[in-house]
């Protein structure tokens, strides 16, 4: 039974620990955090787990096979590299690292040591996102046309990363998982309303090498919470509203039909198709529960990583390009193939 | 009692005629359209109105003081210029013209002939938009932070203009009316999913010379209809949902409070304020009813145009800049002061 | 081509006239109303229709084959009887009459004269209600369990009938059409908040001779408008929300499964089934358009009345029983078989 | 610092224990449940709490001053009486007991022993319900006109009590708290769809000695979850939707204005008033947190019980009357003054 250590017990760490604990095929060995009071809480809830303020204690602990990292982004690289060097498998919170260069090094190191490097793109493990991928992959969806996501609410302002690295990272990782094609360029705009702080409002457009367009609207400064994604196909369209308690995914039998007239191309006849709506029941298992099981299965070789370091790298490249574009007020920045 | 002639009896013209007819201080003299069947419908509904296929008949009719134009955009300039040259006041549908050069000439001609040139920015005459302007103008709103609008639905694809000239023109004219400041540059991206046709999906960002950002998301290819605008102020925030039958305008006592610590600017403390929600009753009078009355009052000099040709020109300049930016995949295009 | 005369041009009459006018197989001959100004409006909109304040003019007009009655309930009986005696087919607004005795006489007279007597249960002609009937009729729905409808809003208070005769009549006629079984008793409670006026809030329960229960909640005194009906079957359940612009009808693959244990009946195991949601596209043709065509087809014998006088009588019997029950604060009143 | 013991660790007990634990002025001494596995869970989460399967262990424990009872209704009386006899203060889950006779004895015993007997009408401790009480109590609300509540969802079917004792008990306790007047009679109807089991659908009407009416619609067999209450006043109206994450309470400046004409009372003029909507921010503190603190303050005498045994008795009387009425298909049953 593999042993796991968790670094970071702030916002996300407690969820990781709870899920590792409730997975009877994991052994939770140790939790590391800088805060004594948080460690005390770990001790109170889980008396069997040892705690420490020093991550080195985890790296050199032979009963720990895997490390989960849930610390601020800026520390991901250093902690993950140390863990990999110590021969530990790594699950790291999104975004995988602060730069694509760091992410590449992490991937290289994991490959070299034959270790699993998984990035915690949590939404990819939800029933809703998996259902969306199934729907898009099916022939009945037609050609993908657009992906348009809005993820806004009031707070929490981050001091170290802008709103794209905090919120759009979710949309990018979902998009990356469900559409199966990669963008070739990014245009982004945004603004900070607090002097000297990272942008708290941002709008991204992603270009592709075919007739697809993607758009992401993120904000920490909206009076209402919106978590809505529209995905258009030539035969079907999807509305994914993560705030719906039931009916998160709605599939519309809607679209346009273009009839070309050979004599006069300008006289294309566009007609509208409006049919039934279907909202499939989606698996409601907690995403993190599936994710910690998947991490285990990747380690024992029974599954291939769904969100390997490479996907983390791809997302970070999009975010870096978006940052550059935002500096230039929306000028498109190419993404490497 | 002024006499009015209406050119164009397609989608919008019937609304114009109906409202002019029900305003007892207007005399509806004549309607012009290219379609005989539409003119027959006018004759059936309003036996007192004369009909013609030739706009010249309206221009040379001395009992006509004003002309309302509800034809495709490409014809606005020619028809409006002819009307002005014939000494008629003009109300022209949005967008005012196909180019800013045309709009400028129209404005100049109207000024020269001392005639009223009003552009039909209909939403400006709704109770909801007027209430929003009041709320933003009030000191209690604080500093304007952002304007973010989504206007999407399935259809109707236009063949002569892209989705920004069809849908975003509404958002731009509302924004122009309610915020009282003008953008300095535009970034736009978009795509056409029908070969050879204008873009049917578009995303615009508008930049200002202060810490304001505006964003508009328009589409003819959405499975669901959304008409939602968020306007953020430093003290209050507005959600305007035009599809709500009641409660179109909601005002949130929400926002952030930034506390600066003199010693360490990076340690800004951002706290969140969440208070009551207030949804004021808004005037439900049909916008066009107020607009035709306003047109009359502008002609007799008792009111100053709320949506004069100059506002139409300002909007067309934004659309032109957006078109240029879209060609360059989002590169910002400056707007003249 | 049959000729029709319409009596009553208040709230509903204009809709009747408009639909008869746009049905090219009807000839609209004459409209009768007590108000000169309303008749003037008819003349303005439809110069070909004659108008009169005297219903007798319609009864003795040989070019009129059918009469549509859209007057206050108290006048339905007298007008319909006179029309039938004059040999005219009759379409009468809901409720068919003020008493079941009157309704019975109307039915008898129509049968005797071999004339069509149709009651205007408009909702029965909507695509939504027809879809609901199809769903309930299908084996996949299982056994009908309950019908629960809420129809509340602010206003319009009626002076001559209570809120059940004004609003619940819709729910009863929909229920009567879609479920295919008749209630055996009624319990009703309610209250008037305006001294001396009919009840403006009412709650009805309808009992059946099997395990079905129906409930209707109606009010003129609700701050929000609700038009929602839940229909439960042992295998599927329906939510019908008439205020939804799209997705009026939602069908849930939900329910309970009861497993009996032979040894201990009290230990029934009830498990819950939660599957997909499906919202079929429904026909959006205006109900009245279909209804006036149906009236024509009933007259020429090509269709059998969907809402004959007998259905009107059945609804009035339920309303009478409900009135009696309300007088006795909810004591159940039996309905005749 | 008072010591508390909790009996029952099924659905609700864990919430009680968690809240008592996080209130630093309470000492949680012991938890009693019949299930060893649940007690093991207590031990795992809270190593300092002793556990037992025998409630007597709690009654005779001198370090326990108060007992919280979260067991099936049928056991409330016996457990509460034993606790009171042992000199313990009692907090008992709703409904307080199976019969009004039992509730009366419990109240008497508590009074005799000068002990606190509090019934856990949880909603009374929510910010939303308290805000509603404030709004209704204020003169600006006008005269109370009606209270209409719907509380439906799919499951959980109870085997020992019908849906009124399970769900309507919440509405009755909220109503009892916010309106400040008591009903004089009850009419109830309902049905069981599972042979031999208690009613799973029920509709209650409550009559008052003035122009107020209350209605409650409860079901375990609805495909959708609804938690909505309308409260009408002559000047304002409230919509309380407990499923809204924000804006649970909406206050409408709506109503009717009745103008009497002295000459003809039947010609009352009813006009409709439609003004602003206001949704006040409500305290989001967990109700049970406030409730366990209140229990403490009742014990030390610093507060008077908000939900004393007497309120529990009042609700049980309404439920008993409703049961009787349901047996008689809605015949009204009087409530004792």
DSSP D239-289: EEETT-SS--EEEEEEEEEEE--TT-GGG-EEEEEEEEEEE-----S-HHH
Return mean pLDDT, chain D: 95
B101: CB partners within 8 A, 6+ apart: none
C281 part of contact set with chain A, CB < 8 Å: yes
Say yes or no to pLDDT of D266 above 70: no
User: Average of pLDDT values for D151-177?
Assistant: 96
Contact B279 D279 (CB under 8 A): yes
Angle among Cα D258, D263, D266 to the nearest 5 degrees reads 50
Could you tell me if C275 lies within 8 Å of chain A, comparing CB atoms?
yes
For residue B115, the tally of other CB atoms under 10 A from its CB is 20
Domain identity same for D87 and D114: yes
Whether the per-residue pLDDT at D265 is higher than 70: the answer is no
**What distance in Å separates the CA atoms of residue D43 and residue D41, rounded to the nearest whole number?**
5
Task: Verify that A7 and A128 share a domain, yes or no.
Answer: no
Q: What interhelical angle do B100-112 and B76-85 show, nearest 10?
A: 10
pLDDT at C268: 73
Contact C274 A281 (CB under 8 A): yes
User: Is the per-residue pLDDT at D202 higher than 90?
Assistant: yes
pLDDT by residue (tens digit) across A311-333? 999 999 999 999 999 999 999 99
Q: In this structure, what token pair is assigned to residue A201?
A: 């409002």
pLDDT given for residue C3 in this prediction: 98
Q: What φ, ψ does residue A322 adopt, rounded to 5°?
A: -65, -40
Answer with the one of B79, B103, B120 that is the final residue of a domain: B120
> Is A168 within the bounds of a domain?
yes
List the CATH number of the domain containing C20.
3.40.50.720
State whether residue D37 sits within 8 Å of chain B by CB. Answer: no
D47 vs A47, A225, A245: nearest CB: A47
Average pLDDT over residues D265-276: 80
Higher pLDDT: D225 or B262? It is D225
With CB atoms and an 8 Å threshold, state whether B159 touches A268. yes
In a domain, A197, yes or no: yes
Q: Give residue-wise pLDDT tens across range A222-254.
A: 999 999 999 999 999 999 999 998 899 999 999
Is there a domain that residue B302 lies in? no
| pTM for this entry | 0.93
% chain A with pLDDT above 90: 89
- A90 and A179 in a single domain? The answer is no
Partner-chain contact A278 C274, CB within 8 Å = no
Q: Tell me whether A275 touches chain C (CB under 8 Å).
A: yes
DSSP code at position D73 = G
Among A95, A120, A145, identify where a domain stops: A120
pLDDT of residue D45: 81
Domain annotation covers residue D280 = yes
Residues A213 and A115 in one domain: no
Determine the 3-state secondary structure of B120 from DSSP.
strand
Same domain, D102 and D129: no
Q: pLDDT band for C263, please (50, 70, 90 cuts).
A: low
Q: What is the pLDDT of residue B273?
A: 87
Confidence grade of residue B266 (pLDDT, cut at 50, 70, 90): low
Chain C's closest residue to A254, CA to CA, is C281
pLDDT above 90: percentage of residues in chain C: 89
Instruction: Indicate if the pLDDT at residue D242 is higher than 80.
Output: yes
Sequence-distant (≥ 6) Cβ neighbours of residue D18 within 8 angstroms: none
Ranges assigned E (strand) in B135-264: 144-154, 185-191, 201-207, 213-219, 221-233, 237-241, 249-259
Structural domain contains residue A295: no
Mean pLDDT for the stretch of residues A133-157: 96
Query: Does D47 lie at the interface with A, CB-CB under 8 angstroms?
Result: yes
In a shared domain, residues A79 and A219: no
On average, the pLDDT of chain B sits at 95
Which residues on chain D are in Cβ contact (under 8 Å) with C136? none
Q: Does residue C153 lie within any of the structural domains? A: yes
Instruction: Tell me the mean pLDDT in the region B154-183.
Output: 95
Pairwise CB contact (< 8 Å): B154 & A325: no
Segment D267-287 mean pLDDT: 90
Domain that holds residue B265: 124-283+317-334
Q: Does residue B179 lie within any of the structural domains?
A: yes
- B182 and B137 assigned to the same domain: yes
Report the pLDDT averaged over residues C8-27.
95
Helix H segments across B217-286? none
**Share above pLDDT 70 across residues of chain D, in percent, rounded to a whole number:** 98
Q: Structural domain tally of chain A?
A: 2
**Interface predicted TM-score (ipTM) of this complex, two decimals:** 0.94
pLDDT tens-digit profile of D7-63? 999 999 999 999 999 899 999 999 999 999 999 999 888 888 999 999 999 999 999
Kind of pairing between the strands at B269-279 and D269-279? antiparallel
Q: Which of A100, A120, A140 is the last residue of a domain?
A: A120
| Per-residue pLDDT at D47 | 83
pLDDT confidence of residue A45: 81
- D59 shares its domain with D87: yes
At A264, the pLDDT band (50, 70, 90 cuts) reads: low
User: Residue C266 — very low, low, confident or very high, per pLDDT cuts 50/70/90?
Assistant: low
So what's the pLDDT on residue B260?
Answer: 72
pLDDT tens string B198-255: 999 999 999 999 999 999 999 999 999 999 999 999 999 999 999 998 899 999 999 9
**A268 and A322 part of one domain:** yes
Reported as a single tens digit per residue, the pLDDT across C81-132 is: 999 999 999 999 999 999 999 999 999 999 999 999 999 999 999 999 999 9
User: pLDDT value at position A324?
Assistant: 98
Question: Nearest-CA distance from D275 to chain B in Å?
Answer: 5
Q: pLDDT of B79-124, one tens digit each?
A: 999 999 999 999 999 999 999 999 999 999 999 999 999 999 999 9
In the prediction, which pLDDT does A263 show?
62
CATH number at residue D256: 3.30.360.10
The answer as to whether A290 is a domain residue is no
D309-327 vs D169-179: helix crossing angle, rounded to 10: 120
CB B73 within 8 A of CB B198: no
The residue of D136, D192, D193, D196 whose CB has the most chain C CBs within 10 angstroms, and thus the best one to mutate to test that interface, is D193
Interface test with C, best of B18, B44, B244 (most C CBs within 10 A): B44
Residue B130 and residue B266 share a domain: yes
CA distance B160 to chain A (A): 9
Per-residue pLDDT band at B267 (split at 50, 70, 90): low
D110, D130: one domain = no
Neighbours of chain C (3+ CB pairs under 8 A): A, B, D
Please indicate, yes or no, whether residues B131 and B106 belong to a single structural domain of this protein: no
């Amino acid at each position: 039974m593999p042993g796991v250590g968790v670094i970071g017990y702030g916002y996300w760490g407690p969820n990781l620990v709870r899920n590792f604990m409730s997975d009877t095929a994991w052994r939770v060995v140790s939790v590391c955090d800088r805060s004594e009071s948080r460690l005390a809480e770990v001790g109170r809830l889980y008396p069997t787990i040892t705690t420490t303020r020093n991550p080195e204690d985890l790296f050199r602990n032979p009963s720990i096979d895997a490390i989960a990292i849930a610390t601020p982004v800026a520390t991901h690289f250093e902690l993950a590299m140390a863990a990999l060097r110590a021969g530990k498998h790594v699950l790291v919170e999104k975004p995988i690292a602060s730069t694509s260069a760091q992410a590449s090094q992490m991937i290289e190191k994991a490959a070299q040591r034959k270790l699993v490097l998984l990035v915690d793109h949590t939404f990819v493990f939800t029933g809703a996102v998996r259902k969306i991928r199934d729907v898009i992959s099916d022939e009945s969806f037609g050609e993908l046309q657009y992906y348009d996501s809005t993820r806004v609410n009031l707070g929490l302002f981050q001091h170290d990363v802008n709103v794209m690295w905090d919120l759009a990272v979710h949309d990018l990782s979902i998009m990356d998982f469900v559409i199966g094609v990669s963008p070739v360029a990014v245009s982004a705009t945004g603004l900070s309303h607090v002097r000297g702080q990272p942008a708290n409002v941002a709008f991204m457009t992603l270009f592709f090498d075919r007739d697809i367009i993607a758009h992401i609207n993120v904000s920490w400064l909206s009076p209402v919470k919106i978590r809505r994604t529209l995905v258009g196909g030539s035969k079907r369209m999807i509305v994914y509203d993560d705030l719906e308690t039931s009916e998160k995914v709605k599939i519309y039998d809607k679209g346009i039909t273009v009839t070309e007239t050979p004599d006069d191309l300008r006289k294309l006849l566009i007609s509208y198709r409006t049919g039934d709506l279907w909202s499939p029941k989606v698996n409601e298992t907690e995403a993190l529960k599936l994710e910690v099981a998947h991490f285990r299965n990747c380690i024992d070789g029974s599954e291939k990583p769904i969100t390997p370091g490479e996907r983390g790298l791809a997302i970070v490249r999009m975010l870096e390009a978006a940052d550059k574009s935002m500096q230039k007020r929306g000028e498109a920045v190419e993404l490497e193939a």
